[in-house]
Amino acid sequence: MSTFDFYDQEFINDSCDWEDSPNGLRMTSNAWGNQPGRNFVMGCMALLKDVEYTDFVMEITASHDDNDGTIFFCSCYGLFT
């Protein structure tokens, strides 16, 4: 798990708990929230750190054991300069 930085966003109801499982990274808590006065769902983030990829294809297999959702962020730079 040292390849990730973990962040608990503000306005969530619980702490974000993670574990390494045989199938990959797994969130074991049910933390979630909503920013007051706005309709932004808040939660837990696991971000890869110290990596840079070029010419890649991303393939993800995910399973949900509870009522959580999943969002993937990809950050690209240098494409439009």
pLDDT tens digit sequence for 50-72 = 887 777 788 888 777 777 677 77
Give residue-wise pLDDT tens across range 14-40: 889 999 888 888 888 888 888 888 877
Over range 74-78, report the average pLDDT: 69
How many Å apart are CA 79 and CA 49, to the nearest integer?
20
Query: Residue 44, class by beta-carbon neighbours within 10 Å (0-12 exposed, 13-18 middle, 19+ buried)?
Result: buried
pTM (two decimals): 0.67
Confidence (pLDDT) at 18: 92
Q: Please report the pLDDT score of residue 1 as a whole number.
A: 64
For 32-36, the CB contacts below 8 A with 24+ separation are 32/68, 33/9, 35/10, 35/11, 36/11
Selection from 68, 9, 73, 28 nearest residue 47 by Cα? 73
Report the pLDDT value the prediction gives residue 81, as an integer from 0 to 100. Answer: 56
Tokens of 19: 């574990």
Residue ranges of domains in the chain: 4-48
